[in-house]
Chain A
Amino acid sequence: MIRIKIYTILALKEVLGKREFEVSLPEGSTVKDLISWMINKWGGKLSPHLFFPGSDRVLPHIRLMVNGRDIGFLNGIGTVLQEGDEFLMLPLVAGG
């Protein structure tokens, strides 16, 4: 098993109930596996914040990062997670 640290903010944090926590997943797990694990745990509460209705396609304004790098510049949802990785889930924010 590998341990992954999850970190999220704002509306997503409201759904998950905490800003950061750790999960254990089987070795070789990908971002897709991690998301499946979360959907399994939070189900209908989390899905509308992450996916297009009735689909497993991630909404374009949701950012997923592994160790600070957007998964679009890694291997997308197929990115393989390693022991100690930090996974960020960020909703769209405005201001500045």
Chain B
Amino acid sequence: MLKGGYGGKILRINLTNKTSKEEALPAEVARDFIGGAGFGIKYLFDEVKGGTHPLEPENKLIFAPGPFTGTTIPCASRMAVTGKSPLTGAVGMALSGGQFPAELKFAGWDIVIIEGKAEKPTYVSIKDSAVRFHDARSVWGTMTSDCQQIIKDDLRDQNTRVICIGPAGEHLVKIGCIINERRAPGRKGLGAVMGSKNLKAIAVRGSGSVKVASQEKYKAGRSEMLKFMKESPVLYSHFANTGTPMVLDLTAAMGILSAKNWSATGEFAPVEGLGVEAQNTRKIGKEHCYDCPVGCSQMKLAMSGPYAGILTEGPEFETLYSFGSGTGVASLDAVIAADRLSDELGLDTMSAGVTIAFAMELFERGIITVKETGGLELRFGNDQAMMAVLRQMAYREGIGDLLADGTRAAAQKIGKGAEKYAMHIKGLELPAYDVRGAKAHGLNYATSYTGADHNRGYAFQEIFGIPVPWEVDRLAIEGKGKLTKWNQDVRAATCDCPTMCAFILDTALPGNATQNTATLMEAVTGLTFTPEEVEKVGERLNNLAKAFNVREGFTRADDTFPERLMTEPLKAGASKGQLISREDLKQMLDEYYTARGWDQKTGVPTRTKLAELGLKYVADQLGV
């Protein structure tokens, strides 16, 4: 019995025949998967058959906030968007905060599943239980901020919340994302999935509220969480004022801020240009997600050169890497402009920047020339060339067409040894942390079910030095398999499913995350969990997601790194000399699969493990 937290309803929208229907949220699905990414992966595995083309109507897009979303539990207005990724062919799951997730709950929905393909460009509006299909031809081709405003005007409701795609998603660019106000469930190409369905936008407005099971327990649990947040030595005192860019200063000091397509980490570390002090010269305000007391998102205004006057929310740390250190660009104003342009075009800033950095290295090495770039001197540090290519990617023009599907696809087309410089895992471009100097963080890149995704098992022990669940030597290989399993399961169970902001849990409640989730689940939903049972939810999610990928043909060989990480030691900085050799990777993977109870040789979940997690039907499908 679900007493609160959940609206108890799933909305299924079929674009092919313009119908919608309501289904009850099964209580056992809530119990087993909590919400968010758990719901997304459960319905993706169950409803999208193995071998489905990600850009065909049979793929689905699943939007799922969590049981705390829409309550006043802090930092919980988030949602997972899940589908089969056109970029990787694996699970595509990305999270986003803002206001939209809470609004979806106010409208009464725990999950919205988008199916089929509209005949013509369409947008869908959801007002409580009413679903309408709108002709979107007038907004097709618009930038994302204009699109959101036009739809608000069209619906005569400025308080409606809109998510949409830009030109990139419309052109089926596989690094295209969905934009949620100025935020994004950005990675894995889910914008292209939306574009393939001719779905320009979803607008939502709700008039309800989210009930809680026990007011008394809710107040106590919320107060406890706020107390932990207040006691954090960094959350309000620093993070609230600087946001994620402070990680640039940190990773540069540690010698793990990736630079120039991972060829110059430790050598090129533009802290003066892109670090916190530079950020403060461009900061003009901040933004909060619904009911977040922290407000880490910083509004920045470019003030110099051709970029003067361009405003953006961000750039976040990862974007400072992808359009900054990664491309050899040390101008914050250029990165601000690239961030804003990506948001308007609906491009994932991370994959876009890494793909441009890849092309820059190919240009520097003579593998591509001005013939391919249309005359652009696409060298490291050339910010104007970067801006030009960015635009071309969204419209599939010129070299942009070659790069629009990310580094893996581009390398395959280019040949001439280009794959050696394509910095991706399973097709997803690498995040900022040069994991040659942070081994568990690297193992998470290699084994994350979405490809190279720092957020699926962030090793805060190595990056921030937080000694939970134990103290960790970032440079050691031993013990990283067990640690990565813990990081992935706890992150999934306490952040990705409920859905809570990882920035808060990592720094305010690292040792209490599972207890915090258990306490709040009982208070909000009435479902009781032990901390161990919470962690089990994360393990279930990671096993089911892995099973999806196994069904798609992924093997142990896909849990690997680009060659550069295994053969080229870092040349300078505080991690000088570090790499993850093939033998190191083998050792970590063996330990990881053993910790997971998976077959060590193949990396496939065993029947015993799947049955233990209540996933026997998954074992049957996999034939294990």
Measured between beta carbons, the chain A residues less than 8 angstroms from B245 are 95
Is A45 on the interface with B (CB-CB < 8 A)? no
Write the B556-570 contact mask toward A (1 if CB under 8 angstroms, else 0).
000000000000000
Q: Of B465, B466, B473, B574, which one neighbours A7 at CB under 8 angstroms?
A: B574
- Please judge, given known A-B contacts A10-B249, A93-B247, whether A68 and B234 are in contact too, CB under 8 Å: no
Query: Are A88 and B506 in touch, CB under 8 angstroms?
Result: no
Is B367 on the interface with A (CB-CB < 8 A)? no
Task: Report the minimal beta-carbon distance from A60 to chain B, rounded to whole angstroms.
Answer: 8
The segment from A25-33, A35-43, A69-77 that touches chain B is A69-77
Measured between beta carbons, the chain A residues less than 8 angstroms from B271 are 19
Query: Number of residues in B with C-beta < 8 Å to the partner?
Result: 46
Query: Are A92 and B507 in touch, CB under 8 angstroms?
Result: yes
Measured between beta carbons, the chain B residues less than 8 angstroms from A68 are 254-255, 437, 475, 573-576, 578
| Bound Cα distance from A21 to B475, whole angstroms | 25
Inter-chain residue pair count (beta carbon < 8 A)? 100
Is A90 on the interface with B (CB-CB < 8 A)? yes
Task: Report the minimal beta-carbon distance from A10 to chain B, rounded to whole angstroms.
Answer: 6
Q: Which 10 A-B pairs have the closest CB atoms?
A: A95-B244, A68-B574, A94-B239, A94-B507, A63-B465, A73-B473, A9-B249, A92-B234, A93-B250, A95-B247
Write the A50-89 contact mask toward B (1 if CB under 8 angstroms, else 0).
0000000001110101011110110000000000001010
Write the B447-464 contact mask toward A (1 if CB under 8 angstroms, else 0).
000000011001010011
Query: Are B253 and A96 in touch, CB under 8 angstroms?
Result: no
Measured between beta carbons, the chain A residues less than 8 angstroms from B521 are none
Measured between beta carbons, the chain B residues less than 8 angstroms from A10 are 238, 246, 249-250, 276
Is B474 on the interface with A (CB-CB < 8 A)? yes
Q: Of A69, A86, A95, which one neighbours B243 at CB under 8 angstroms?
A: A95
Write the A2-19 contact mask toward B (1 if CB under 8 angstroms, else 0).
000001111100000001
Minimal Cβ-Cβ distance residue in B for A69: B475
Measured between beta carbons, the chain A residues less than 8 angstroms from B28 are none
Minimal Cβ-Cβ distance residue in B for A8: B253
Residue of A9, A61, A91 with most chain B CB atoms under a 10 A cut-off? A9
Measured between beta carbons, the chain B residues less than 8 angstroms from A19 are 271
Write the B424-458 contact mask toward A (1 if CB under 8 angstroms, else 0).
00000000000001000000000000000011001
30 contacts between A and B (CB under 8 A): A7-B253, A9-B249, A9-B252, A10-B238, A10-B249, A10-B276, A63-B465, A68-B437, A70-B471, A70-B474, A72-B473, A88-B254, A90-B250, A90-B253, A90-B254, A91-B233, A91-B238, A92-B464, A92-B466, A93-B238, A93-B246, A94-B234, A94-B235, A94-B507, A95-B243, A95-B244, A95-B317, A96-B317, A96-B454, A96-B502
Query: Are B234 and A91 in touch, CB under 8 angstroms?
Result: yes
Minimal Cβ-Cβ distance residue in B for A67: B574
Minimal Cβ-Cβ distance residue in A for B272: A19
Measured between beta carbons, the chain A residues less than 8 angstroms from B30 are none
Minimal Cβ-Cβ distance residue in B for A59: B233
Task: Report the minimal beta-carbon distance from A67 to chain B, rounded to whole angstroms.
Answer: 7
Query: Are A92 and B249 in touch, CB under 8 angstroms?
Result: no
Residue of A60, A73, A95 with most chain B CB atoms under a 10 A cut-off? A95
Query: Are A96 and B247 in touch, CB under 8 angstroms?
Result: yes
Measured between beta carbons, the chain A residues less than 8 angstroms from B232 are 94
Write the B491-523 contact mask toward A (1 if CB under 8 angstroms, else 0).
000000000001100110000000000000000
Q: Of B238, B471, B574, which one neighbours A65 at CB under 8 angstroms?
A: B574
Write the B574-602 contact mask toward A (1 if CB under 8 angstroms, else 0).
11101000000000000000000000000
| Bound Cα distance from A30 to B210, whole angstroms | 57
Minimal Cβ-Cβ distance residue in A for B577: A68
Query: Are B244 and A69 in touch, CB under 8 angstroms?
Result: no
Is B296 on the interface with A (CB-CB < 8 A)? yes
Measured between beta carbons, the chain B residues less than 8 angstroms from A72 are 471, 473
Query: Are A96 and B475 in touch, CB under 8 angstroms?
Result: no
Write the B357-400 contact mask toward A (1 if CB under 8 angstroms, else 0).
00000000000000000000000000000000000000000000
Task: Report the minimal beta-carbon distance from A62 to chain B, rounded to whole angstroms.
Answer: 9
Measured between beta carbons, the chain B residues less than 8 angstroms from A67 are 574
Residue of A67, A69, A70, A93 with most chain B CB atoms under a 10 A cut-off? A93
Task: Report the minimal beta-carbon distance from B201 to chain A, rounded to whole angstroms.
Answer: 29
Query: Are A96 and B249 in touch, CB under 8 angstroms?
Result: no
Query: Are B576 and A96 in touch, CB under 8 angstroms?
Result: no
Measured between beta carbons, the chain A residues less than 8 angstroms from B463 are 93, 96
Write the B226-261 contact mask toward A (1 if CB under 8 angstroms, else 0).
000000111100110001111101101111000000
Task: Report the minimal beta-carbon distance from B430 to chain A, rounded to whole angstroms.
Answer: 14
| Bound Cα distance from A46 to B235, whole angstroms | 20
Measured between beta carbons, the chain B residues less than 8 angstroms from A9 are 249-250, 252-253
Minimal Cβ-Cβ distance residue in A for B271: A19
Measured between beta carbons, the chain B residues less than 8 angstroms from A11 are 238
Measured between beta carbons, the chain A residues less than 8 angstroms from B276 are 10
Measured between beta carbons, the chain A residues less than 8 angstroms from B246 are 10, 93-95
| Bound Cα distance from A65 to B575, whole angstroms | 11
Measured between beta carbons, the chain A residues less than 8 angstroms from B467 are 60
| Bound Cα distance from A21 to B339, whole angstroms | 34
Task: Report the minimal beta-carbon distance from A8 to chain B, rounded to whole angstroms.
Answer: 7
| Bound Cα distance from A95 to B276, whole angstroms | 13
| Bound Cα distance from A91 to B250, whole angstroms | 9
Query: Are B465 and A96 in touch, CB under 8 angstroms?
Result: no
Query: Are A96 and B255 in touch, CB under 8 angstroms?
Result: no
Write the B471-494 contact mask toward A (1 if CB under 8 angstroms, else 0).
101111000000000000000000
